[in-house]
Amino acid sequence: MTYGFLPSGHAQTGARCLMPDIPHILLTSVNNLGDCVLFLPVVAAARAAFPQGRIILLTGAAGADAARLTGLPDDVLPLPPSRRHPPRAALLRLLPRLRRERFDLGVMASGDSSFVAALLRLSGARERAGFDDCAARFLLTRRVSAREPEHEARRNLRLASALGWPVSDARPPCGIPSALREEARTLLTRAGAPPEAGPPVVLIHPGASAPSRRWPAERFAALAAALVQEGRGRPVIIEGPAEPGLADEVARAAGIPLVALPTLRRVELLAALLAHSALFIGHSSGPFHVACLVGTRTVSLWGDTDPALWGPAWDPERHAVVRSPRPCAPCERWSPHGHRILRGKTSGPGAPCAECMAAIPEEVVRQAVDLQMEALSHQGR
């Protein structure tokens, strides 16, 4: 039996821990949906390094749904929604299960808290890896430099590379089961937008984590109405569990009949809807990252958040980024000294100012949509 971070057959120069060829690995991304999607390349790297290894991912409930579609982890442990971040009580309830697994290695994502580092230590994982900007880095046996600002997916890949795992910039696999595809097709058909007939389906998500991070609903409505009137697309308005009524609000503001789906509570159904859609239009949000994972073209609107850090992770030619023209945007900026995000002008703790998204001109978004629709007509989806 060979040992090391690398699988059998690879050079192990500099390896700091001993691991069997078929290890038990715990990967954690205890954050929101977008963070989990951008951590999936690490899951792919772990699977490439240890095809027969037992790989378990601990993440939020929404991220768990996205991870299952990749088929990469052997098991996914979802955490229930919680007002506290991280959900400490739920994490502690999982501790007996984690200890029974007898993990050889635990790896925590960029952005995971000191509490997660402590959980890895309490789980009994013999080796624990993460970034050195974690306040509890002393609990880690393998620390990777946080260094300068970089895209979150690239940062996570650097973590996998430091462990000696083979990494790839390619989009992780995302398989939509046939039953799920049929469920999404039926939902669209009953709503009046069958995927097989008529102009391409354009999925529009006007929501975001806070109202101040949303482009005005009436502008989404005008954009959707223009797509219908010009015969270029069939807009379908969606909303998440935290945005009840928003889809209907946009549909009413359009002044013409639009399809507005009921609140989507399952990420896997969202992924299936995206697989039937030619284009996604929305903000920097979890659904945007799911669209990137599925491979659907996107037009995304950015205000306080920097797309250089959180934008499209794969296939850049398929994604159009529209940024706020305000000189202070993005107000979430990287501090190279503290290795953390600093926020500028806010309307509340951690919230962007209300003017940021409203400053994005409607004609600029329409131009981005026009270019994507033109690409679709010339190259297909």
Q: Do domains 24-162 and 178-379 have the same CATH topology?
A: yes
pLDDT tens digits for range 99-108: 999 999 999 9
pLDDT at 87 over 70: yes
Q: Region 67-91: what's the mean pLDDT? A: 89
pLDDT, greater one: 82 or 173: 173
Q: List strands edge to edge, sheet with 234-237.
A: 259-260, 234-237, 201-204, 279-283, 297-302, 319-323
Q: Which two tokens stand for residue 130?
A: 């993460």
Sign, CA torsion 162/167/170/172: negative
Res. 351 pLDDT band, cuts 50 70 90:
low
pTM above the 0.75 mark?
A: yes
Query: What proportion of the chain, given as a percentage, has pLDDT over 90?
Result: 75
Sign, CA torsion 281/342/157/35: negative
Q: What is the pLDDT of residue 44?
A: 98
pLDDT at 348 over 60: no
Q: What is the pLDDT of residue 344?
A: 47
Q: Which of 52-61, 303-312, 326-335 has the lowest mean pLDDT?
A: 326-335
pLDDT at 338 over 80: no
Q: Which residue reads 């009436």 in tokens?
A: 218
Q: Which of 82-91, 272-281, 295-304, 371-380 has the lowest mean pLDDT?
A: 82-91
CA distance 297 to 318: 5
pLDDT tens digits for range 217-274: 999 999 999 999 999 999 999 999 989 999 999 999 999 999 999 999 999 999 999 9
Domain definitions of the chain by residue range: 24-162, 178-379
Query: What proportion of the chain, given as a percentage, has pLDDT over 70?
Result: 88
Q: Which residue reads 């023209």 in tokens?
A: 325
* Architecture of domain 178-379 in this structure: 3-Layer(aba) Sandwich (3.40)
Closest listed residue to residue 81, CA positions, set 105, 63, 107:
63
Q: Region 113-137: what's the mean pLDDT? A: 94
Q: Which residue reads 């739920």 in tokens?
A: 90
Q: What is the pLDDT of residue 285?
A: 93
SS3 per-residue string spanning the chain: CCCCCCCCCCCCCCCCCCCCCCCEEEEEECCCHHHHHHHHHHHHHHHHHCCCCEEEEEEEHHHHHHHHHHCCCCEEEEECCCCCCCCHHHHHHHHHHHHHHCCCEEEECCCCCHHHHHHHHHHCCCEEEEECCCCCHHHCCEEECCCCCCCHHHHHHHHHHHCCCCCCCCCCCCCCCHHHHHHHHHHHHHHCCCCCCCCCEEEECCCCCCHHHCCCHHHHHHHHHHHHHCCCCEEEECCCCCCCCHHHHHHHHHCCCCEECCCCCCHHHHHHHHHCCCEEEEECCHHHHHHHHHCCEEEEEECCCCHHHHCCCCCHHHEEEEECCCCCCCCEEEECCCCEEEECCEEECCEECCHHHHCCCHHHHHHHHHHHHHHHHHHCC
Buried (b) or exposed (e) across 277-289, using 16+ Cβ within 10 A? bbbbbbbbbbbbb
Q: Taking the domain 24-162, which CATH number applies?
A: 3.40.50.2000
pLDDT tens digits for range 5-41: 444 333 333 344 457 778 999 999 998 999 999 999 9
pLDDT at 83 over 90: no
Residues β-bridged to residue 78: 59
Q: What is the pLDDT of residue 11?
A: 33
Q: What is the pLDDT of residue 21?
A: 76
